[in-house]
Structure 1
Amino acid sequence: MRKKYAIGLCVSIFIVLQIWCSFITFHFPYIGVYVELTPQQQWVIQEMTPESASAKLNLKLGDIVKQVDGKLPDESPTIQKWKAIEKARSLLISRDGLEYEIVVNRNSTTFYDMVPLVEEGVCLFMAVLLFMKMRRSPSAKLLAAVFLTMAIIYMSLGASVRGDVIGKLLIASFMMALPIIFLHFLVIFFKEKGNMELPTRILKYLYAIVIIALAIRSLYFYPPMAKVFRYDGSVTLVFFIIGFVFNMSVLTFLHAKVRKQQSYVSSIIKSVWLSLLISFLPAICFSLLPQLITGQQILNGRYTSGLILVFPISFAYLIASNQLYDIGLVIRRFMFASLMAIIPVSLFTGAYVFLFGQEVDDKQILFIFIGSIILVSSVLYAAEYWTTRLEPFLFPRKYALQFALKKISKNLGTISSFRELKEIILVDIVGTLQVMGGAIVFQYKNDTEIIYEGEIDTSEVQQLVNSSSLLDHPLYTCIEMNSHEEYTSYLIMTRKKTNTLLAKEERQWLQLITTYLEVSLENVHLIRKLTARLHQFASQLPSESAAQDIQWFRKVMFELQEEERIRIASDLHDTTMQDLFFLKRRISTLADKSTMHQEDQVQLKNMNNFVEMINASLRQSCFELNPHLLKEVGLIQTLKMYLEKESYTTPFELEFQAGHAAVIETKDLLTKRHIFRIVQELLNNAKKHSQASKVKFHIMEIDFRFWLFYEDNGVGFHDSNEVHLEIGASGMGIEQMRSRVLHVGGHFELNTQKGNGTKFIITIPTEEVISA
C-alpha cells in the first residue's frame, strides 16, 4: 500500500512540474538576450542567441537596456540571477541616443521549443512501456528510470532557457543524476544478463552528491545568493562529461577483462560501449565541450541531444524483442545502410544547393544533408522488414511460392512412404504451380515406378524415361534428382493449365524444391528397404518359444501393423465411404426427378447399385483392417460372420465348425486379434495358392488349450523350413502366423506335401496367455 502511495505521489509531482514547465514554455517566448553591467552602471546587450526571439525584436549588440516591463533592469528577477532578459513583456532600449520601446510577442514559440517536447514524449512512452511490460526485470526498471530522467531534462529545458528557477534546478540536478542512474543500470544489467558483479558502493556516494547539489541549488529561490550559481551550468556539464567518461572506462575495463573468453558477455560489453559512444559522443564533442571552452556550441544541443535517445531506445527494443546479443549486427546493418545513403543524399543535397544556393544558409543545407542521411538510412534498414510484410500484396506470386516452399519443406519431414509422397508433396507442387499434372519417376535397373498427380500420360513418360529423351522434351519440365547404382529419380511437370511452360521464377523454385526432395526420396527408399529387411528378419526369427530376448521385436512389429491397419480403415471410413454416401444420395435425388426420362432413371439406378457394391466392398475391407466386432460380439461370432461373408466370394467350399470354446472369450482383446489375423492369413493364402475345392476351419477347447484346425485339399507345398523365404512369397504369411502363435505362447504345426493338401494345427493355452 505504501508503495502505491509513493508512486501516486511521484506521479502527482511529475504532473505538477509538467504543467508548470509547459506553462512557462508556451506562455513566455525565449528571448535569449544576455546583458552586462558596465562601469557606467548601464545594462548593455552582450549576447543574443540566434534561435531565440531576439532576432525578431530588432535588437542589436551594444543596445542599452533602460527598462524591463516599465521597471529598471536591476529589478528584473532574471537579470538579477542570470544576467538574462526573459519573461519580459516590453523593453525600453537606447541606441545612438535614441530610445525605442519594443513589445515582446507572446505567441513566438518556435520549432526549437517543440523538439524537446517530442523527445520528452518518446522518453515517457518508453519508460511507461518498459515499466508495464517488463516490471519483473530490475535492469528494465532502471532503464525506465534512465528514460524518465531524460524526460525530465527535456521537459525542463524550455523553462530553464527562459530563466525559470524550477526549470534550471530540474535540468541541472537531473543532468548530474543521468550518468549515475545510467551507471546503476549497467551494474544491474551486467549482473542480470552476464552474472558479473560490479562494485555498487560508489553509487551511494554519487547519489549523495546529487542530493547535496539539489539542496544547495534550492538557494536559487533567494535572489541575492543566486549570483553565486551563475557558473552552475559549467559545473553541471563538467560533472556530466566526467560521468560519461567514467561509464566508458568501466565498460573498457570489463571488455579488457572478458575479451579473451569469446562469450556472449564480451559481445554485450562491446555493443554497449559502441552504442554509448554513438549516443553521447556527438552531444559532448559538438555541444557541451565547445560550450565549456569557448562559450559557443558547434551544433545546437537540441539536435545532438536527440542522439542520446539512440542508446536507451535501441536497448529497450533489443531487450523487449530478445535480440540483445544481436545489437552488434543491428549496428553494422544500420551503418551499412548509412554508407549506401551517402551517395544519393550527397547528389540530392548538391543539386539543392546548385538550384537554391542563394536562398538557403549553411544550417539549412546541413539539416537537409543530415536529415536525409537519417531518413534514407532508416528506410534502407527497414526495407527488408517492410518488403517481407508487404510481400503478399506487392509480389503475390513470389509470396505464394515461398509459402508453399515452407509448407512442403515442413511436410517432407513426415514422409515415410511413396503414398504419402504423392498425397502430401506432389499434390501441393502441382497445385502451387497450377500445372495439368506432375509425376515422380523412379527408374530402376529392370523396372520403372511412377507416382503421379493430375493429368499426365504415364505411358508416354515411361517411354521417354527409358529412351533418355525426357530432359529435353518440349512439353515437360523435367529435373533429375537422385542418381546412383540402385535407381535414378526425376521430377516431371507438364505444361500449366494455361498451356504455357513454367516461368523462370517457377523453375528456380522447382529446383529449390528438388534439393529438399532428394533427401526425402532417399529416406523413403531406405525406409522401404529397411521395412523389407525387417519383414525378412521377422520371418527368420527362431521358432522356439524360449527365445525371450526377441519377444519385444515381435511385439513392436505386430503393434505397428495394427496401428497402420486401423489408420487406413479410419481414412477409408472418413473420406472415401463418406464421399460415396453423398454421391449415392445425389444420384438418388436425380433419379427421382419427374422430368427425367425412364431410360436415364434406369441408368442412374444401376449406377447407384454399383456405388452401393463399392461401398459394401469398402465396408468389408474396413472390417478386415479393423475387426471391431471382436470387442462387441466376441471372437467366435466374429469369425463366423467373417467366414460366412467370405464364403460367397471364395472359389472353394468354405466350412466353419465351432465347438466348445467359451474360455477364449475371457482372454484379452489382443490375443483374440492375433487369432483373427491368423484365420485371416490362412484364408488369404488359401485363395492365392491352395487351388483347393474345399477348405475347413474348426475351433475348440481341450485340456485348457484353444485349438484351431485348418485343412484344405489343394496342391500343397514344401515345408517352409526347407525353402528360402523371399519378401512377398507365400512363406512370409506362414512365418507371420508362426510368429503370432509363438508370441501368445502357443504351438504351431504344419503338415503338407506337394499335391496332398495342407493342414495347420495351432494350439494356444487358455490358462495364461502372454499379453501383446
Structure 2
Amino acid sequence: MPTRKKYLFGACISVFFVLQIWFSLITFHYPYIGIYLSLDEQEQWVINELNPESASAKIGIKVGDIVKEVDGKPPEEFYYVSRWGVIEQASTLLISRHGDEQEYKINKNSTTSYDMIPLLEELVCMLMVCLLTMKLGSSPSARLLASVFLTMSIVFMSLGASIRGDLVGKLFVATFMMALPVVFLHFIIVFFKEKGNLQLPTRILKYLYTMLILWTILRVFYFFPATIDVYRYDSPVTLAFFIIGFIINIGMIAHIYIKVRKQQSYLSSIVKSVCYSLFISIFPIICLSFLPKLIVGNWVIDAIYTSWIILLFPISFAYLIASNQIYDIGLVIRRFLIVGLMSVLPVSIFTGVYVFLFNQEVNEKQILFVFVGSIVLVSLMLYAAEYWTTKLEPFLFPRKFLLQSALKKISKDLGSISNLRELKEIILVDIVNTLQVHGGAIVFRHKDDTEIIYHGEIDTLEIEKLVNSSMLLNHSKYTCIEMTGHEAYKGYLIMARKKTNTLIAQEEKQWLQLITSYLEVSLENVHLIRKLTVNLQQFASQLPHEATAHDIQWFRKVMFELQEEERVRIATDLHDTTMQDLFFLKRRLSTLADKVTLHKSDQEQLNNMNNFVDMINASLRQSCFELNPHLLKEVGLIQTLKMYIEKEAYSTPFELIFEVGSSSFIESKDLPTKRHIFRIVQELLNNAKKHSQATKVTMKMDETNHFFYMNYEDNGVGFNDNKEPQLEIGASGMGIEQMRSRVLHMGGQMDCLTQRGSGTIFKIRIPIEEVISA
C-alpha cells in the first residue's frame, strides 16, 4: 500500500475511533428522555410526543403536560429545546398538569432498547466489514459491500447520541442514512459487472452522490442557533431520500431481470433471487416505519426494530460471496425457507408454553421477541447443522470419523493398485490398523488352488480349511464378507477378532462391506492386468523376427525395459530400507552382547540372533543382485554367471554343471544384451528348481561362426510343451514364453525338446553380429 494511502487509512481509523468514543460517552452517560415539544397558542411548551421506551415515560410524564422549567430554566432557554424542540441531557423537569405543578427527576441509570439494540447492530456490521476486508479484500464488489456495512455501522453508532440531541450524532445519522442506498446501488452495479459481466448505467450514481454532497453541505445550518425549522424539514428529506434510493435499487435490479429473464442461465436466477431478497429485506423498514412516519407522523413499528431486517440482505450476500455459493443463491434461499418453516412448529409450541406459564408477567412485545428470536436462532442452527456436524464430527463421533477418514484414504489408494503385493501393503494394512484387529486376510479361492494374502496374527492354515469347507461365513472367531464370485476365482475379506477380544461391531461391519464393494472392482482390475500381461507376453513371444517385422520390434523393447525398471526399483527399496534396518539391528544386538553384565547364555542367544540377521542380510543381498545384476558392467557376463551359478549350486537339490567355451565376442556386446542372457539363465535355473525334479543340470555356452550358443539339459520329469498358461490371480509366470521373447528380441532362435518323464533340453542360438540393441 502506498505511503499516502496508509496515512489516509490511518487517519480514517483514528477519526472512527474518536467518534466511537464520543458517541459512546453521550449514549451511556445520559439517559434517553424522549420528550418532543411544540408551542401552543399561549406560547407554552407542550409535550406532543413521548417515546414509551424513554426514561420520561417511566416516571409518569404524559403527552399534553406543559413544561415549565428544564434544569431550573425556562424551556426556550434550554439548548436542546431551542435547537431541536426536544428535552435531552436534562436532570430535572417542572411539569404542569391541569394547573398542578410537579418536579420530576430523571433517573440517570436508565438504559433502554435504544441503547443496546443499535450497539449490537453496529457490532454485527463491523464484524462483517472485517470478514469481507480480510477474506475478500481484492474483490471490488466485496470492498463495496464492506462499505455498505461500514455505512450502516456509522448510522447505528451515532443513533444513541443523535436521539439525545447531540449535534455531531444528528449530522452523522442524517448523512449516512442518505448515503446508504447510494452506496448500496454502487455495490449492485459493480457486483453484476464483476459476477455477470453486465454493464449497467452508472450516470445515476453521479447524480445521487452530487445530491448527497449538496444536502450534507446544507446541514451546516445545524451550527446556527435557529435550526429547529431546518431540522424539521431535514428529517422528512432524509427519510424520503432513503426510500427513493432503495426504490431505485429495486428498479435497477428489476431492469436487469427484464434484460436477462429469457436466458436459461445462472445469472437470471441470481438476479431474480436478489430482487426478491432485497424487497423482503427493505419492505419492513420502509412500509412499517419510514412511510408512516412521513405520512401520519408516527411509526407502525419503531425503526429500531425493523432495522434488523435490513441487515439480512447484505449479510446473506456477504455469506454467499465468502462461501463461493453466490451462483447457488436460489438453492440457499430455498434452504433458508425450508428450515424457517421447519422451525415454526416447535417455536410456536415453545412460545405457547411460555405464555401459558408466565401469562401475568409478559406483554405482546416480549412474546413477539421470544417468537421471532427463537425462529431466527432455530433456523440458523438447522441451516448450519450440516456444517457444524462435519466440523465437530472428530469430537462428537470419533469412531465414525476415523472410519470415514480411513475409507477416503483406502478408496484413493485403490486406484494405484496393480498387483497383489500392493493390495496387501496399501489396503490390508490400513484395514487391520483401523479396525484394531489381530489380523486380516484376503482369500482367493480358485478352481484348484487357494491363495491367501494376510497381515497380522491370523492362522492361514485354518482359514484355508474353513474356506474350502464353506464354514467361514458363520464362524465365531472371524468376520467374513464374501465378495462377488468371478469365473476364475471367488474372493473373501476376513478379519480376526479385535484386540479387545471382541468381534467387529455392526457399524464397522457395514464399513467393511462398503470397502468390499470397492475391492471387488480393484480385484477385477488386478485380474485383468494379469490376464493382459499374459496376453502381452504371448504376443511378444510370437512376434516374428524377420527383417520385415522390424517396425513392431519396439514392443519387446518396451516390455523388457519396464520389467528391468521394476526390478531395479525393488532392489533399491530393499537396499535402502530393509537392509539398512537390519544393519542397525545388528549393531544394536552387538552392543547388547558386548555388555559384561549379561549372563553367558544371554550373550550366546544374542550372538545367535546376530548370526541369523547376517543370514537374512546375505539372502537379501543375493536377491538384490538377482534383481539388479550390477556386476555385468563391472566384470562381464561370463564371470557374473559363474558367480551366480556358484552361489545357486549351494541351494539347488541337483548337481549343477556350468561349462564355457569361447566368449570374447559376447563380452564385447552392449549391457542390455548381456542382461537378456543373464535373465534367460535365471529363468532356466528357477524352473529347474521348481518343476524339474532333476538330479543333474548342465549348462554350456560357446561361440562358433559368429553365433553365441547356449544349451541347457536336465534329467528331470519334463513337461508338455503345449500346456496353456494359467491366468488366475496368483498363477505362476510365463517363464518359457519370456525366454523365447528375449531370444527373438535379440534376433535368435530357441528350441525346446521335452517330453513328460524324459527330461528337458533347451537350445538357444543368438547371432553375435546382428544382436539388436535393447
> What TM-score do the two structures reach when normalised by structure 2?
0.89
Q: Which moved more, 1:670-679 or 1:321-330?
A: 670-679
**Hey, what does 2:656 align to over in structure 1?**
652
**Hey, what does 2:522 align to over in structure 1?**
520
Q: 1:760 aligns with which of 748, 761, 764?
A: 764
**Hey, what does 2:417 align to over in structure 1?**
415
Return the alpha-carbon distance in structure 2 between the equivalents of residues 565 and 284 of structure 1.
79
Q: 1:451 aligns with which of 434, 448, 453?
A: 453
Structure 2 residue identity aligned to 1:748 = G
CA contact (8 A) 1:719 1:753 kept: no
Aligned length: 762
Return the alpha-carbon distance in structure 2 between the equivalents of residues 474 and 483 of structure 1.
23
Residues 338, 575 of structure 1: CA spacing in aligned structure 2 closer, same or farther, 3 A cutoff?
same
Once the two structures are TM-superposed, the CA of residue 203 in structure 1 deviates from its matched residue by 1.4
Residues 598, 165 of structure 1: CA spacing in aligned structure 2 closer, same or farther, 3 A cutoff?
closer
Q: 2:146 aligns with which of 119, 144, 147?
A: 144
2:432 aligned counterpart, secondary structure: helix
2:226 aligned counterpart, secondary structure: helix
After superposition, what is the alpha-carbon deviation per residue over 1:420-469, rounded to whole angstroms, capped at 9, x for unaligned? 22222222222322333333233344443333333444444444444444
**Hey, what does 2:490 align to over in structure 1?**
488
Residues 552, 626 of structure 1: CA spacing in aligned structure 2 closer, same or farther, 3 A cutoff?
same
**Hey, what does 2:541 align to over in structure 1?**
539
**Hey, what does 1:169 align to over in structure 2?**
171
Q: Which moved more, 1:621-630 or 1:270-279?
A: 270-279
CA contact (8 A) 2:749 2:766 kept: yes
Structure 2 residue identity aligned to 1:503 = A
After superposition, what is the alpha-carbon deviation per residue over 1:717-740, rounded to whole angstroms, capped at 9, x for unaligned? 9999x9576369999545434544
CA contact (8 A) 1:153 1:171 kept: yes
Once the two structures are TM-superposed, the CA of residue 218 in structure 1 deviates from its matched residue by 2.3
Residues 555, 275 of structure 1: CA spacing in aligned structure 2 closer, same or farther, 3 A cutoff?
farther
After superposition, what is the alpha-carbon deviation per residue over 1:163-202, rounded to whole angstroms, capped at 9, x for unaligned? 2333222222222221121111111111111112211122
**Hey, what does 1:204 align to over in structure 2?**
206
1:482 aligned counterpart, secondary structure: coil
1:615 aligned counterpart, secondary structure: helix
Return the alpha-carbon distance in structure 1 between the equivalents of residues 576 and 385 of structure 2.
47
2:531 aligned counterpart, secondary structure: helix
Structure 2 residue identity aligned to 1:655 = E
Residues 161, 765 of structure 1: CA spacing in aligned structure 2 closer, same or farther, 3 A cutoff?
farther
Return the alpha-carbon distance in structure 2 between the equivalents of residues 613 and 299 of structure 1.
92
**Hey, what does 2:435 align to over in structure 1?**
433
Structure 2 residue identity aligned to 1:141 = R
1:450 aligned counterpart, secondary structure: strand
Q: Which moved more, 1:259-268 or 1:515-524?
A: 259-268
**Hey, what does 1:237 align to over in structure 2?**
239
**Hey, what does 1:160 align to over in structure 2?**
162
Structure 1 residue identity aligned to 2:213 = I
The correspondence of residues 63-212 of structure 1 with structure 2, limited to 5 A, is: 63-212=65-214
CA contact (8 A) 1:716 1:752 kept: no
Confirm or deny that 1:246 pairs with 2:248: yes
Q: CA RMSD in A?
A: 3.4
Once the two structures are TM-superposed, the CA of residue 211 in structure 1 deviates from its matched residue by 1.4
CA contact (8 A) 1:81 1:230 kept: no
Confirm or deny that 1:365 pairs with 2:367: yes
Structure 1 residue identity aligned to 2:747 = H
Return the alpha-carbon distance in structure 1 between the equivalents of residues 240 and 366 of structure 2.
30
Confirm or deny that 1:507 pairs with 2:509: yes
Structure 1 residue identity aligned to 2:509 = R
Once the two structures are TM-superposed, the CA of residue 208 in structure 1 deviates from its matched residue by 1.4
Residues 309, 640 of structure 1: CA spacing in aligned structure 2 closer, same or farther, 3 A cutoff?
farther
Q: 2:318 aligns with which of 309, 316, 319?
A: 316
CA contact (8 A) 1:433 1:506 kept: yes
CA contact (8 A) 1:437 1:493 kept: yes
Once the two structures are TM-superposed, the CA of residue 48 in structure 1 deviates from its matched residue by 0.7
Once the two structures are TM-superposed, the CA of residue 621 in structure 1 deviates from its matched residue by 0.8
User: Gapped runs of 5+ residues in structure 1?
Assistant: none
1:309 aligned counterpart, secondary structure: helix
1:483 aligned counterpart, secondary structure: coil
Return the alpha-carbon distance in structure 1 between the equivalents of residues 38 and 159 of structure 2.
24
Once the two structures are TM-superposed, the CA of residue 237 in structure 1 deviates from its matched residue by 2.0
After superposition, what is the alpha-carbon deviation per residue over 1:332-383, rounded to whole angstroms, capped at 9, x for unaligned? 3333333333333222222222222212222122222222222233233333
CA contact (8 A) 1:635 1:672 kept: yes
Once the two structures are TM-superposed, the CA of residue 41 in structure 1 deviates from its matched residue by 0.7
Once the two structures are TM-superposed, the CA of residue 44 in structure 1 deviates from its matched residue by 0.8
Return the alpha-carbon distance in structure 1 between the equivalents of residues 17 and 589 of structure 2.
78
**Hey, what does 1:61 align to over in structure 2?**
63
CA contact (8 A) 1:718 1:752 kept: no
Structure 1 residue identity aligned to 2:766 = I
Residues 713, 458 of structure 1: CA spacing in aligned structure 2 closer, same or farther, 3 A cutoff?
closer
CA contact (8 A) 2:39 2:45 kept: yes
Once the two structures are TM-superposed, the CA of residue 605 in structure 1 deviates from its matched residue by 4.5
Residues 502, 5 of structure 1: CA spacing in aligned structure 2 closer, same or farther, 3 A cutoff?
closer
Once the two structures are TM-superposed, the CA of residue 311 in structure 1 deviates from its matched residue by 2.4
Confirm or deny that 1:695 pairs with 2:698: yes
Return the alpha-carbon distance in structure 2 between the equivalents of residues 514 and 727 of structure 1.
26
Structure 1 residue identity aligned to 2:627 = L
1:532 aligned counterpart, secondary structure: helix
**Hey, what does 2:272 align to over in structure 1?**
270
Once the two structures are TM-superposed, the CA of residue 115 in structure 1 deviates from its matched residue by 2.2
Structure 2 residue identity aligned to 1:272 = V
Return the alpha-carbon distance in structure 2 between the equivalents of residues 348 and 531 of structure 1.
70
Return the alpha-carbon distance in structure 2 between the equivalents of residues 266 and 232 of structure 1.
39
1:67 aligned counterpart, secondary structure: strand
Return the alpha-carbon distance in structure 2 between the equivalents of residues 748 and 716 of structure 1.
26
The correspondence of residues 670-681 of structure 1 with structure 2, limited to 5 A, is: 670-681=672-683
Residues 312, 628 of structure 1: CA spacing in aligned structure 2 closer, same or farther, 3 A cutoff?
farther
Structure 2 residue identity aligned to 1:134 = L
Once the two structures are TM-superposed, the CA of residue 530 in structure 1 deviates from its matched residue by 1.7
2:185 aligned counterpart, secondary structure: helix
Once the two structures are TM-superposed, the CA of residue 521 in structure 1 deviates from its matched residue by 2.1
Return the alpha-carbon distance in structure 1 between the equivalents of residues 465 and 713 of structure 2.
45
**Hey, what does 1:346 align to over in structure 2?**
348
Residues 122, 603 of structure 1: CA spacing in aligned structure 2 closer, same or farther, 3 A cutoff?
closer
CA contact (8 A) 1:92 1:101 kept: yes
Confirm or deny that 1:747 pairs with 2:751: no
Residues 652, 644 of structure 1: CA spacing in aligned structure 2 closer, same or farther, 3 A cutoff?
closer
Once the two structures are TM-superposed, the CA of residue 757 in structure 1 deviates from its matched residue by 4.5
**Hey, what does 1:295 align to over in structure 2?**
297
**Hey, what does 1:218 align to over in structure 2?**
220
Confirm or deny that 1:726 pairs with 2:725: yes
Return the alpha-carbon distance in structure 2 between the equivalents of residues 103 and 164 of structure 1.
21
Once the two structures are TM-superposed, the CA of residue 43 in structure 1 deviates from its matched residue by 0.6
Once the two structures are TM-superposed, the CA of residue 107 in structure 1 deviates from its matched residue by 4.1
CA contact (8 A) 2:694 2:717 kept: no
> What TM-score do the two structures reach when normalised by structure 1?
0.89
Structure 1 residue identity aligned to 2:562 = L
The correspondence of residues 574-613 of structure 1 with structure 2, limited to 5 A, is: 574-581=576-583, 584-585=586-587, 588=590, 605-613=607-615
The share of aligned pairs that are identical, in percent, is 65
Once the two structures are TM-superposed, the CA of residue 42 in structure 1 deviates from its matched residue by 0.5
**Hey, what does 1:549 align to over in structure 2?**
551
Structure 2 residue identity aligned to 1:749 = Q
1:223 aligned counterpart, secondary structure: coil
Structure 2 residue identity aligned to 1:404 = A
1:197 aligned counterpart, secondary structure: coil
CA contact (8 A) 1:47 1:61 kept: yes
